[in-house]
Amino acid sequence: MIVEDDMFSANLLRQILRNGRYDPIIAENGQVGIAELLNDVGITKCLLDLNMPIMDGYEFLQIISKEPGFNKLKIYITSSNSEEVFVRNISNHEINYDLIKGYYEKPFDFNNIIA
């Protein structure tokens, strides 16, 4: 699943992932992403933008960190903020950092997304 409010970026990521044999759905914010996770228990990976309207990536992470059913979800952050800023910011939230499997700073190298 791709949780990203910028549809250009989301569709570009989806196209790249399809070339890598994935077929991700797109959720335009964290609230829609949570709904998708509840509706599709087969989602195992998530590319998550942090800065989005309605529900941002931090809120999304807080919610799934509290739900034991999501503890096997692998989350890859995509953000224009540095990873250092992200790590500093999550200390202010109740987030299970073990869910985070990777961090891609925008603009990112699309060749690394499939790997």
- Domain range 2-114, CATH class: alpha beta
Q: Which amino acid is at 104?
A: Y
- The per-residue pLDDT for 34 is 95
Classify residue 54 as left (phi > 0), alpha (psi -120 to 50) or beta: left
Residue 115 has pLDDT above 60, yes or no: no
| 33 — pLDDT class (breaks 50, 70, 90) | very high
Query: For residue 111, what pLDDT is reported?
Result: 64
Whole-number Å distance between alpha carbons of 43 and 93: 24
